[in-house]
Amino acid sequence: MEGTSGGFRKELVGKLLQLHFKDDKTKVSGDALRLMAELLKIFVVAAIRSVRQAQAEDLALVDVDQLEKVLPQLLLDF
């Protein structure tokens, strides 16, 4: 996913959101789905980079420290 223009399909994001709504009649606009898909993509990229950072430090678990180390790089993506 990293380095590509791919992301989450709107249908998948819509299904994930519907699973967590209390009211089944709740609707989500197309713009909200695109925004949520972009946020999920950013979250996944941050998680992947944190795992790679932990591996570079020979750690078995990802801690908040690894996330803090990759956040500046994530901000430069924009």
Q: What would the pLDDT profile of 12-71 be if each residue is shown by its tens digit? A: 999 999 998 988 889 999 999 999 999 999 999 999 999 999 999 999 999 999 999 999
Which residues, 6 or more positions from 51, have their beta carbon under 8 angstroms from its beta carbon?
62, 66
What pLDDT sits at residue 3? Answer: 44
Q: Are 71 and 65 in contact (CB under 8 A)?
A: no
pLDDT band at 72 (very low <50, low <70, confident <90, very high): very high
Q: Which helix (H) or strand (E) holds 67?
A: helix 64-76
| Unique residue bearing structure tokens 């609707």 | 27
Rg, C-alpha atoms of the chain: 15
Give this prediction's pTM. 0.77
pLDDT band at 77 (very low <50, low <70, confident <90, very high): confident
* Residue 16: how many other CB atoms lie within 10 Å: 13
Q: Is the pLDDT of residue 4 over 60?
A: no
Domains belonging to the chain, first-starting first, are: 10-77 (1.10.20)
